[in-house]
Structure 1
Amino acid sequence: MFARSLSCAKSATAHVGKYQLRCFSHLPLSVPVKLPNGMEYEQPTGLFINNRFVPSQQHKTFEVISPSTEEEICHVYEGREEDVDLAVDAADEAFRNGWWSKIDPQERGKALYRLAELMERDAELLASIETLDNGKAIANARGDVQLAISYLKSSAGAVDKIDGRVINTGDTHFSYTKREPLGVCGQVIPWNFPLLMWSWKIAPALVTGNTVVLKPAEATPLSALYVCKFVAEAGIPPGVINIVSGFGKIVGESLSTHPKVKKIAFTGSTATGIHIYRNAASTLKKITLELGGKSPNIVFADADLEGAVNNAILGIYYNSGEVCASGSRIYVEESAYDAFVDKLRAASEKLKVGDPFDETTFQGAQTTQNQLSKILSYVDVGKQEGATLITGGERLGNKGFFIRPTIFGDVTEDMRIVKEEIFGPVVTISKFKTLDQVVEMANDTEYGLAAGIHTTNLNNAIKLADRLKSGSVWINTYNDFHPNVPFGGFGASGIGREMGIEALQNYTQVKAVRAKLE
């Protein structure tokens, strides 16, 4: 990645290749940023602790660049272990001695709803910040912002779902359960959906009475910091939300092992999730992990092929293919295979890839140089393994991290491009003859995050959905999320769920009370 840490004992300038890396002993806590669409705003650069933006203890900073131009946007302060300690102490104090966890849940809901309204007021600016920082098309970014706002509002209205039950144990005792918050929750979010993942983590933790220390991805910290400008105005007290920007090996490691952190929520790669799981075990933290995927997208011959192609495009190219639930393995019934491939290739080649601020752009930049290089390396692997490159597979232009939508055909199930998560706009297409065969092919993976089914035969769709090892199954749609519908995976795709009542349960623990009656 191009975000690099620099020691800030004094002001310094360094060069790595063509990139200028600056370090400031007194970096301002906000800097002016002018966006490509002409909007201007003040970008917070500090850590957010106790409702204040503050410099890191060591005054270290790291560079944030635009994936579409490869130019520096700004520097932000880099948190380290001592900053995590300060943030956790603030969160712990707010939980133990503050009133956030003890007030009427309706008051927490009101504050969360107010936060959503403040974000709604700046929705276009938030979308523009996402596009600048992440490289995604502005239309995608607007969708992310609306989903984030909707989820905050939905969670704010879910306070009546945080309840227990009365248990009939006879007339000698009164027995009941109640759900209580856990305490300080450490949260680590990825770079593909910075603001949306912020909302998916913050909302259920806050509405259930917990406090939070969150680490945004080092490649995309800007929107997570910006929305913290609204926290106090929304009525959320100091210490409830804390943001520590920095690197996973330092901030993420510290959060996952910290004795005062009672829960870790992580979204990212399976390998990192396993590492965090092991760290969390040392202090028996509650944990939720939303990890990788290699999701099958299944098309039957009786499907509306135009609709299936549109859903396949949304399933693999949306957000530049940087979606854990991407439908990256397409299985088409043999009699419809040739027609589907022709339609998908034609549609893929018409997609506009480029300037993410252009309203007509469908696919923006990959978020980092590392990710672009990884995707291109998988294109080489596919060719070496004998797959047929139907279209794409090339970097677009010499500036910015752009790649053409890519389709591989003539693949076998043992190929790496079929087995391994690429996390980019690369899809493989295979044929199937029978329902049993496609079930076997679809389930031949360590992952189990999502799946798609396209057919006009509802009986087949339901039968197949029941047999797929996937946490989410979309029928005649894809990447179709709703705040009330839980999302999460089987197997190597993770533990626990985002959204829905299930997310609230992840942030509470059950207390049983049994009173003997006279």
Structure 2
Amino acid sequence: MQSNSTENLLSAFAHFFPNAKEVGSYINGEMVVGAGETVQLFDPATGEKSVAYPDGGAEVVAQASAAAMRAQKEWWALTHAARGRVMFAIANEIRKEIEPLARLESIAAGKPIRDCRGEVAKVAEQFEYYGGWADKFYGDVIPVPTTHLNYTRREPMGTVLQITPWNAPMNTCGWQVAPAIAMGNAVLLKPSELTPFTSLVVGLLIERAGAPKGLVSVLSGYGHTVAQAAIANQAIKKVVFVGSPATGVRIAEAAAKRVLPCVLELGGKSANIVFEDADKRLAALGAQAAIFAACGQSCVAGSRLLVQKSIYDEFVQLVANGANKIKVGAPLDDSTEVGPINNKTQYDHVMKMIDSGVQAGAKLAAGSAERSDKGYFVRPTVLSNVTNDMDVARTEIFGPVVVAIPFGTEEEAIEIANDSEFGLAGAVWTKDVARAHRVAGQINAGTFWINGYKSINVASPFGGYGRSGYGRSSGVEALYEYTQTKSIWVETAKEPATPFGYF
């Protein structure tokens, strides 16, 4: 007998794939079921067994790469404007399915459904944004000091591999796929084996909107089988990875063997800095949103809360009081603000980190070290009395846990913020405009906010410093990541100089 978890997930998935007998990979317009070992999924909200499906393995990669090469030639042969129109049609198909997609994402990933609705809308916006760029990103004419006309073309890489994580499967799918296909590439998308469902649907909707079959294939299965085979496949010309630093290192090493360029968006341990002159109410609300939204399962989460000593006790208590009021509950409940951790491995890591923080001398200002008796739920947690040398201040927890670290001066705040191997994001809260800009200019982070947190839009470049990775995944800078420059020289002189040779 199937569990309720399995029935709910299969029912939501069947809205898009009514004839699919099993979960597989979406290749060339068809659901292709793998033949590898079984991938067993669990419902984050209950801990019960959910859907199981066979790993795709190397065979699905071979099929997808062949389809991608055919589709990419057809796609690149279209005019830029024609590709842009298809991009807008993709966005329209996604907007038609906001509620079914949000429900599927909520069940599969354990995310609150009200958050999922917003994320689906963002994915539609991503295709619209890059659809607008399709016929506006072009080369240059270079004023070379000769009789030549020299111009450049921006051409696609060909077929790119994109590997996306379980924390925001649909959002990262659109975030990566949209700029890639806008520039004429084909994509092999390998979502986390834990959350392939909404990515499979996006692959379906892309073709439904008029893109060639095979342009975007979605590969379901493990990284050590499917992703490894894809990196080794000769069709792949670039690798994009969003996930943990340890996995990112392995992917970069494998790509380097084939001299493949990469974009890596890895972890974060972002510093959220609060000065004594900040608006305490707004800063406290911002600190909660920075870490507790999405259950803390966000690469840019403000997981290190740096607070000036003069207001430390008062401000930490404000954040703790707010944390205790946040509603933790079932993902499909519209009133739920924080859902469960996505999977047991991550849940165990989060609870272990809370325990290690307390053992090292941190105090639980909010939250609990007790384990959930059903599902992978963690109360929003505030650890006070933390120093920056503790493991909880240096290791990415990736859960609803913030560590509060006191500082004295502006210089000390900057020193603590930069004392990390990561450099993805950060923020400062202050009414001193000059100080705000000084701090923003000195923090090692790819994204930085002043008197706010987590304002992210597809139009703005996103990526990290240091161990948080390299390359940019949005804004116009992403278009450079998905194109290569060709320089073309045309002789225009009636009698060009002939510096070498005989006639």
Does the C-alpha gap of structure 1 residues 32 and 302 become closer, same or farther in structure 2, counting only changes over 3 Å?
A: closer
Decide whether the 8 Å contact of 1:31 with 1:42 is kept in 2. Answer: no
Match of 1:172 in 2: 147
SS at match of 1:101: helix
1:88, distance to aligned residue in structure 2 (A)? 1.1
Match of 1:373 in 2: 348
Residue of 24, 28, 39 corresponding to 1:50: 28
1:264, distance to aligned residue in structure 2 (A)? 0.4
SS at match of 1:349: helix
Which residue identity lines up with residue 159 of structure 1 in the other structure? Answer: A
Structure 1 window deviating more from structure 2 (450-459 vs 184-193): it is: 450-459
Q: Residue 76 in 1 paired to residue 58 in 2? A: no
Q: Within 2, Cα distance between the matches of 1:103 and 1:49?
A: 21
Which residue identity lines up with residue 80 of structure 1 in the other structure? Answer: G
1:195, distance to aligned residue in structure 2 (A)? 0.3
Decide whether the 8 Å contact of 1:134 with 1:192 is kept in 2. Answer: yes
1:395, distance to aligned residue in structure 2 (A)? 4.7
Does the C-alpha gap of structure 1 residues 365 and 320 become closer, same or farther in structure 2, counting only changes over 3 Å?
A: same
Q: Residue 512 in 1 paired to residue 490 in 2? A: no
SS at match of 2:10: strand
Q: Within 1, Cα distance between the matches of 2:226 and 2:351?
A: 30
Decide whether the 8 Å contact of 1:47 with 1:55 is kept in 2. Answer: yes
Decide whether the 8 Å contact of 1:34 with 1:41 is kept in 2. Answer: no
Match of 1:463 in 2: 438
Match of 1:152 in 2: 127
SS at match of 2:335: coil
1:443, distance to aligned residue in structure 2 (A)? 0.2
Structure 1 window deviating more from structure 2 (163-172 vs 371-380): it is: 163-172
Which residue identity lines up with residue 442 of structure 1 in the other structure? Answer: A
Match of 1:442 in 2: 417
Q: Residue 492 in 1 paired to residue 467 in 2? A: yes
Match of 1:91 in 2: 68
Decide whether the 8 Å contact of 1:48 with 1:54 is kept in 2. Answer: yes
1:171, distance to aligned residue in structure 2 (A)? 5.0
Q: Within 2, Cα distance between the matches of 1:348 and 1:410?
A: 17
Match of 2:500 in 1: none
Decide whether the 8 Å contact of 1:396 with 1:404 is kept in 2. Answer: no
Q: Within 2, Cα distance between the matches of 1:238 and 1:228?
A: 9
SS at match of 2:77: coil
Q: Within 2, Cα distance between the matches of 1:275 and 1:299?
A: 36
Q: Within 1, Cα distance between the matches of 2:357 and 2:371?
A: 19
Q: Residue 143 in 1 paired to residue 118 in 2? A: yes
Which residue identity lines up with residue 366 of structure 2 in the other structure? Answer: T
Residue of 47, 56, 65 corresponding to 2:42: 65
Q: Within 2, Cα distance between the matches of 1:319 and 1:161?
A: 35
Q: Residue 183 in 1 paired to residue 161 in 2? A: no
Decide whether the 8 Å contact of 1:51 with 1:231 is kept in 2. Answer: no
Q: Within 1, Cα distance between the matches of 2:340 and 2:5?
A: 22
* Correspondences of 1:172-251 after superposition (within 5 Å): 172-251=147-226
Q: Residue 423 in 1 paired to residue 423 in 2? A: no
Which residue identity lines up with residue 69 of structure 2 in the other structure? Answer: D
Q: Residue 33 in 1 paired to residue 10 in 2? A: yes
1:176, distance to aligned residue in structure 2 (A)? 1.2
1:94, distance to aligned residue in structure 2 (A)? 2.2
1:73, distance to aligned residue in structure 2 (A)? 4.0
Match of 2:288 in 1: 313
SS at match of 2:74: coil
Paired residues in the alignment total 490
TM-score (norm 1): 0.90
1:33, distance to aligned residue in structure 2 (A)? 3.2
SS at match of 1:70: coil
Q: Within 1, Cα distance between the matches of 2:297 and 2:285?
A: 18
SS at match of 2:356: helix
Which residue identity lines up with residue 194 of structure 1 in the other structure? Answer: P
Q: Within 1, Cα distance between the matches of 2:350 and 2:5?
A: 26
Does the C-alpha gap of structure 1 residues 67 and 104 become closer, same or farther in structure 2, counting only changes over 3 Å?
A: same
Which residue identity lines up with residue 323 of structure 2 in the other structure? Answer: S
Which residue identity lines up with residue 66 of structure 1 in the other structure? Answer: D
* Correspondences of 1:474-489 after superposition (within 5 Å): 474-489=449-464
Q: Within 1, Cα distance between the matches of 2:451 and 2:421?
A: 24
Residue of 341, 351, 357 corresponding to 1:382: 357
Decide whether the 8 Å contact of 2:36 with 2:57 is kept in 1. Answer: no
Q: Within 1, Cα distance between the matches of 2:448 and 2:162?
A: 26
Q: Within 2, Cα distance between the matches of 1:381 and 1:110?
A: 53
1:247, distance to aligned residue in structure 2 (A)? 0.3
Q: Within 2, Cα distance between the matches of 1:394 and 1:141?
A: 28
Decide whether the 8 Å contact of 2:16 with 2:201 is kept in 1. Answer: no
1:60, distance to aligned residue in structure 2 (A)? 5.3
1:93, distance to aligned residue in structure 2 (A)? 2.4
Structure 1 window deviating more from structure 2 (356-365 vs 442-451): it is: 356-365
Which residue identity lines up with residue 351 of structure 2 in the other structure? Answer: L
Q: Within 1, Cα distance between the matches of 2:58 and 2:386?
A: 46
Q: Relative to total residues, which structure has the larger helix share, 1 or 2? A: 2
SS at match of 2:399: coil
Which residue identity lines up with residue 89 of structure 2 in the other structure? Answer: R
Does the C-alpha gap of structure 1 residues 169 and 201 become closer, same or farther in structure 2, counting only changes over 3 Å?
A: same
Deviations 1:471-502 (A, max 9, x none): 00011111111110011000100111111011
- What runs of 5+ residues in structure 1 fail to find an aligned partner? 1-12, 23-29
1:228, distance to aligned residue in structure 2 (A)? 2.6
TM-score (norm 2): 0.93
Does the C-alpha gap of structure 1 residues 110 and 315 become closer, same or farther in structure 2, counting only changes over 3 Å?
A: same
Which residue identity lines up with residue 255 of structure 2 in the other structure? Answer: A
Q: Within 2, Cα distance between the matches of 1:324 and 1:513?
A: 41
Match of 2:335 in 1: 360
Does the C-alpha gap of structure 1 residues 140 and 46 become closer, same or farther in structure 2, counting only changes over 3 Å?
A: same
1:411, distance to aligned residue in structure 2 (A)? 1.2
Q: Within 1, Cα distance between the matches of 2:330 and 2:169?
A: 19
